[in-house]
Chains A and B, each alone.
Chain A
Amino acid sequence: MSLGQMFASGLSAVWGGGTMFLMVVLAIILGTIFGALPGVSATMAVALGLTFTYTMGPVPAIVFLVAIYCSSITGGSITAILFKIPGVPSSAPTTFDGYPMAQRGEAGKALGVALIASAVGGLFSALVMFLLSEPLAKAALAFGQGDLFAITFLGLSILVVLDTDHILTTIISGLLGLLLACVGQDPMAGVARLTFGQVNLLSGMEMIPVLIGLFAVTEVLKQTNTKKRLSADDGVGGTKGKVNTKMPTLKELLSIKWVLLRCSIVGTVVGILPGAGATIASFMCYTMENKLSKYPEKFGTGIIDGIAASEAANNSATGGAMVPLLCLGIPGGNAAAVMASALALKGVQMGPLLLTNQPEYLSATFITMIITNILMVIVAIGIAKVFAQILAIPYYYLGPIILLLATIGSYSEGGFVGVKVMVIAGIFGIIVKYMHLNSAAIVLGLVLGGMCEAHFSLAFQGAHIVTQPMTFSDIMQKIFGALFGTPIAAVVMTVCILMLLSPLYMPLLKKAKK
């Protein structure tokens, strides 16, 4: 099937005489609302969407589910901006600039930028995949464990540039996150580590409760002690109950055009790598834009560039993740895994033969992604405007409501233990503040720690195979083989080392320039 034929077949599937088009609109509304509700993750949104598709044929079901999947991930940014509750780990960098903007009464603008950036990122990755899905799938297959470790490690190396004024405490924070990721059974031998006898921790530290605790609960606790806030009728951040729902202007959007383009490209590439995913993409792009920006000191204080970087990256990575899912049958994350089972239920045979055996399914998926990302801007902006008004509620109501939503989100992910973890993480967040540690670095370490260890262990196992007990020289050769065994890994690891050492040589370089 040629590209033109695929495009026409996808378009006819989505249009479907108009009825299917309306179903897409319904799916976008449902997906955005599901995504915006804490506790209803993208995974759950797809699972809930399944109930609507029992009587549908395979193509309409695919169209409906893909639309829910894409819009629910975008909807997650709404809570990240309004309540500092990142619905998914990849939305965590959105809180850095989104929440301060919402606090200043610019929730509408922040949400508008997030939605438009998401749409641009999603649209870009859908178009790239439509044109390049076959060669991209082949390229992704060529990545070995060492290469994947190098990519994940690159995500971790960002630590040193997250807060250049406090490098030591940022590194301590990142290492704490990595250590938290070690809690539970180790990925290779299944041996319990650092559980302190708690059976509930055997499955590891639940990520969402920690995220919600560190961001949302800590924020409410901080607000409890803020004297300014207690003129509660002012609403959040003393905005006098008025929330500006004004969307970003064209001039503002044009000012971030290069941010959107760069982050969409990086996000798509990272998304295509099996197992890498949207979280690495969003953290990577946020830091990249911070470094490239003419005003890096403003990042984290509430600027649209930060939101655009994070949202364009995570949405394009989500789109990129459809390549390993459809062409290789490898789901990149939980939501993609539910998507995979939902598609399998409808008879889609994911894998290398999909392109030859069932090209109509592939084209329907990509065209739905393109149309969803265009329609989403209109539909989701309407929904976001309504959500933005929530900030006008006095804080003595809004604060406890945030705590209830945080409880629901943590319970749905980790049960009663999840709620306790959330509370501990919330209190720990206050200690983190007093210790001048960095919450974002802790989250980065926690999210990437497990992946990093698993990839390294597999790369170590596969490099320089020995038959006798290892000598010191064998160990060194194995480590070197795991880290620099392939050209891709060698290049990426060199970049990582240069980044990690930058705090040491950058001041010297600056001195030499002067």
Chain B
Amino acid sequence: MFELFCNIGLFVFLVYSYFTHVIEAKIPKSYLKNPNVIHPSAWPKAIIILLLICLAVNIYKIIKKNKGNPDFTFAKFVENSKEFFKSKMFIGMLILIAASFLLEPLGFVVTAALLMFSYGLLLGEKKVWRMAIVSVVVALLMHILFSGLLDVTLPRGEVPFLRNFALFLENLF
């Protein structure tokens, strides 16, 4: 059922995109005056049309394949969804989303330590203190290695104290 909903969702999204977002700005008149050029919308529109045809066939195939399948019901889908929202994978997704938003204000060192600590516990490490120490050490070492030694710019954070600390780490070597 989830597969069917995803396909239908994608179909609807593509129809919406076709009519509203394929071209989002005015095309220069000078470009349109040239009779030999291809219209900027031609390529994405062709792909969307092909995708819509394929998705329609796929939706039909999914329905046909699951005819008479007792698990192919809305009630079962709701039950599975509830299970998913309680799963470790979903918590992992939330941790990742949070980390991607924290990276800019907190910088790499703090975000990396928090991400490593929370994900490590999620993956089954039971010794909290050991995980905390390892997380901080790994985050510091990575910042020093990549930013200090290899000149890969990493986010320093917007908080002045954290920014200064990141700069201190980068200038160690």
Residues of A with Cβ closer than 8 Å to B? 34, 37, 39-40, 44, 48, 168-169, 171-172, 175-176, 178-179, 182, 186, 188-197, 217, 220-225, 229-230, 232, 394-397, 399-401, 403-405, 407-408, 411-412, 416, 419-420, 422-423, 426-427, 430-431, 434-436, 453, 456-457, 460-461, 465-470, 474, 478
Contact = CB atoms under 8 A, between A and B. Distances in A.
Contact of B150 (A40, A407, A419): A40
Contacts of A176: 51
B8 to A, nearest CB: 11
Given A182-B47, A194-B22, A230-B123, A217 B116 contact: no
A257 B23 CA distance: 50
Contacts of A189: 27-28, 31, 37, 40
Nearest to A172: B54
A192 B36 contact: no
Nearest to B146: A408
Return the 3 tightest CB-CB contacts between A and B, nearest first.
Answer: A396-B123, A396-B125, A186-B40
B156 to A, nearest CB: 12
Contact of A453 (B24, B25, B37, B43): B43
B51 A44 contact: no
10 contacts: A171-B54, A172-B51, A186-B43, A189-B28, A225-B87, A232-B124, A400-B135, A408-B108, A456-B38, A460-B36
A171 B122 CA distance: 36
Contact of B24 (A195, A221, A230, A420): A195
A188 B120 contact: no
Contact of B40 (A44, A191, A399): A191
B97 interface: yes
Nearest to B24: A192
A468 B33 CA distance: 10
Question: Which secondary structure dominates where chain B touches chain A?
Answer: helix
A447 to B, nearest CB: 15
B38 A460 contact: yes
Given A195-B24, A404-B138, A423-B100, 8 more contacts: A179-B44, A182-B44, A193-B22, A196-B21, A224-B122, A395-B123, A400-B115, A426-B96
A193 B138 contact: no
B69 interface: no
Nearest to B48: A179
Nearest to B34: A461
Interface of B: 2-3, 6-7, 17, 21-28, 31, 35-38, 40-41, 43-44, 47-48, 50-51, 54-55, 57-58, 61, 87-89, 91-93, 96-97, 99-101, 103-104, 108, 112, 115-117, 119-125, 131, 134-135, 138-139, 142, 146, 150-155
B3 A436 contact: yes
Nearest to B40: A186
A408 B99 contact: no
A434 B6 contact: yes
Nearest to A175: B51
B173 to A, nearest CB: 14
B3 to A, nearest CB: 5
A168 B124 contact: no
A420 B120 CA distance: 21
A232 B48 contact: no
Contacts of A470: 35-36
B92 A224 contact: yes
B119 A399 contact: yes
A431 B7 CA distance: 11
A183 B152 CA distance: 27
Nearest to A231: B124
A416 B104 contact: yes
Contacts of A44: 150, 152
Contacts of B138: 401, 404
A427 B108 CA distance: 21
A172 B3 CA distance: 14
B40 A188 contact: yes
B170 to A, nearest CB: 14
Contact of A469 (B35, B61, B92): B35
